[in-house]
Amino acid sequence: MAFGISIFTPIVLLLDAFIIGIIVGVLAGIGFFIYMMWEIRRQEREESTKTMQNQRAYHRQFAIAMGSYVAILMFTVYLLDHIEAQPIRMIVAILPMLPVLYGLWGYMEWIRNLDELQQKIQLEAIAFSMGLTGVITFTWGFLSGVGVPPLHAIWVFPMMIVLWGIGQFVAQRRYA
């Protein structure tokens, strides 16, 4: 759900329709989750037990991380409306990063346990994401100098994730 919400947040900002953006985001997140489960079932028929155990462990940890992220984010938004002390507000504001770090740790474990071909696919996907994110943000920086609104840093990580997914799709097709 967090993936879907983050993808459709621009709808919320552009249309000023928070409820519609949340509904679309949640539906996209559920759709992504269903696709992930379908893909896991397909891979189970093709891959080894060790690979599937690694995949299941990663998806379990990722689901816990993202579920915690959404819950903590909602709690944080509520708390920030009721706290006035700036130092405490800063601490509360970064609380959602704890489950994100847990998800990152799970991702790193997943990468370490992949076979060499899958590691190569992930490397290509990450290189694609990092390179294209750099090109987009650098270009946007130049455009900001001529009147385009600045790109806020909060959008860089979701951009990297989306581009990683595209890069992974392309790299997997290359080696299939």
pTM of the model: 0.66
Rounded to 10 degrees, the C-alpha dihedral 151/152/157/162 comes to -40
Per-residue pLDDT of the chain (176 residues; tens, 9 = 90+): 455 555 555 555 555 566 666 666 667 767 777 777 777 677 666 666 777 788 888 888 988 888 888 888 888 888 988 999 999 999 999 999 999 999 999 999 999 999 899 999 999 999 999 999 999 999 999 999 999 888 888 888 888 988 998 999 999 999 87
Q: What counts of helices (H) and strands (E) characterise the chain?
A: 7, 0
What does R_g of the chain's alpha carbons equal in angstroms?
Answer: 18
Give yes or no for a contact between 156 and 133, defined as CB atoms under 8 angstroms apart.
yes
